[in-house]
Amino acid sequence: MQPITPSDDAERQLLMRYLDRKQTDLANIEQAIAAGDYDEARRIGHNLAGSGAAYGFVRVTVLGRQIEAAARQRASADLLDTVAQLRQFLDGVVISEPG
């Protein structure tokens, strides 16, 4: 579990919206992989890599880069494995009440 304690309600809402969008990204990556759309999977991975650290989620950035690289190589098994790692990470993030 990854507990995050935001400094105020605004930050909490921002983080929660970000995490909601990442869940949508996960679904979109899985759909892209199933459709063989590696360009879309690469694009989403690129966006994950760019946004993760900005929101304090370095792991999202690392996994986004791995998704981007696997999509570029059309390595669906690696993509699926990395997406599963990302899902596990995101599912473990808990945003607590501001401290």
Q: What pLDDT, in 10s, does the model give residues 36-92?
A: 999 999 999 999 999 999 999 999 999 999 999 999 999 999 999 999 999 999 999
Collapsing DSSP to helix, strand or coil, 8 comes out as coil
Give the residue from 78, 8, 84, 11 showing the smallest Cα distance to 92: 84
42 and 71 Cβ atoms separated by less than 8 Å: yes
10-43 per-position pLDDT tens digit: 999 999 999 999 999 999 999 999 999 999 999 9
**Of 70 and 98, the one with more pLDDT:** 70
Looking at residue 58, its pLDDT comes to: 95
Enter the tokens of residue 68: 């981007």
Label residue 1 by pLDDT band (50, 70, 90).
low
Q: What does pTM read for this prediction?
A: 0.92
